[in-house]
Structure 1
Amino acid sequence: MTNVNDEFKENEEVVMETPDNTDDIIESGEDTEEIEIVENGEETIVQELTEKLQEEENKRLRLLADYENFKRRATLDKEALQKYRAQNVVTNLIPVLDNFARALTVEATTEEAQTMMTGLDMIYRTFLQALEDEGLVEIQALDQEFDPNFHQAIMTGSDEDKPAGIVLEQMQAGYMLKDRVLRPAMVKVNE
């Protein structure tokens, strides 16, 4: 492809080579073809330059849009990372929470066992409060309508006093971290 400046110089040279009496030539019709070529050449060059300018402007706008999308995605990722920073730790601590709850259901028969159960209950409440401060929420299931987004049905039962699709019993607690389900509640659902 020829350089645009070279084409312009060639066309400029052609214009410079035209005689001083161009008005007479144009009126007489002599050599008008050469003048039309020069004018068409300039129009072509202007058109090519305009197209290239529009193409470069489109590239610039696409690049700017891509950059704005990147900034927005990076901001959203950063916010999500900050919001759910404790997810892995909390997920790993849920079984510990379950074990505490199971331990607290044991009947204390002696005074010493009762004192130990009181201490365990205090530890459990402190532990639960620390997790709740990080955004952990227990999913409510008992007597709620079954929702597959929050509940996992592992059994069905029949209770004529309650409508179908109601959770009859919670087998294992479910938990959410802010608005994410970490573990659905395992439930028994009414048929």
Structure 2
Amino acid sequence: MTDKEKDIQTDSQDTANGQQPAAEENNAGGNVQAEKAPEEGELEKKQQELNEIRDKYLRLVAEFDNFRKRTAKERVELIQTANKEVILAMLDVLDDCDRAYRQLETATDIDAMRDGVVLVFNKLKSTLQAKGLRPMESMHEEFNPDMHEAITEIPAPAEDLKGKVIDELQKGYYLNDKLIRYAKVVVGK
């Protein structure tokens, strides 16, 4: 028998016994390991990248959620304390009103009471103007639906007052050049 025939016979006996031939075993195992090694390395690398991206995503979501909660809390605090400056400035006027009220109970001089009320009123106006409040001038101006609220129309007493504001029932106001209250007016037709 030749060496080749011996190998074939040995292989067939090993196969019959349930064993793979040694040459095939080494060859097949080597190819599988050679194929698996790069695939497993790549798979582990991709899995690690995926885990890093997932971690960054979760951190970003948590950071955004914290930012949203923090800004909502700051907004609520800002709204609650936004009027603090105006209220503090108005306390002086309130104190003056209290003093004027106490004087009204005992005062007999009408002129002195009127002067006191005028002083308090002027202080109130100046305090509000210092905070940016400005009254709207509407009398004898053209009616503008963006600034005026027409309560009624009446016949104009003169030709030049047609379509203009004849009477102002409630003043309109601006706060820092932004309209905050429309003027309620009577318009001539």
TM-score range, shorter chain: 0.5 to 0.7
The letter of the residue matching 1:119 is G
1:127 counterpart = 2:146:
no
Structure 2 CA distance for aligned equivalents of residues 147 and 83 of structure 1: 31
1:171 CA displacement? 0.8
- Structural mapping, 1:55-70, within 5 Å: 55-68=54-67
Tell me how far apart the structure 1 counterparts of residues 66 and 143 of structure 2 sit (CA, whole Å): 44
Residue number in structure 2 paired with 1:174: 172
User: Cα 1:180–1:162, aligned 2, differ >3 Å: closer, same or farther?
Assistant: closer
**How far apart, in 2, do the equivalents of 1:30 and 1:148 lie?**
91
Q: Distance in 2 between matches of 1:149 and 1:44?
A: 67
Select the structure that is richer in helix. Answer: 2
Match of 2:149 among 148, 152, 160: 152
Q: Which amino acid aligns with 1:184?
A: Y
Q: Which runs of 5+ in 2 are unaligned?
A: 1-23, 94-108
Tell me the equivalent position of 2:134. Answer: 137
Question: For 1:139 and 1:113, how far apart are their aligned partners in 2?
Answer: 31
Return the alpha-carbon distance in structure 2 between the equivalents of residues 29 and 190 of structure 1.
Answer: 107
Q: Which amino acid aligns with 2:57?
A: N
Q: How far is the alpha carbon of 1:188 from its aligned partner?
A: 1.6
Whichever residue aligns with residue 123 of structure 1, its letter is: V
Q: Following the alignment from structure 2 to structure 1, what is the Cα–Cα distance between the partners of residues 59 and 155?
A: 66
The offset of 1:173, in angstroms, is 1.9
Taking the aligned partners of 2:54 and 2:127, their CA distance within structure 1 comes to 58
Fraction of identical pairs, as percent: 19
> Which runs of no fewer than 5 residues in structure 1 stay unpaired?
1-24, 94-111
Q: CA RMSD in A?
A: 4.0
Alignment of 1:12-161 (within 5 A): 29-31=27-29, 32-68=31-67, 83-85=82-84, 86=86, 113-148=110-145, 150-159=147-156, 160-161=159-160
For 2:118, give the aligned amino acid: D
Q: Secondary structure at the match of 1:137?
A: strand
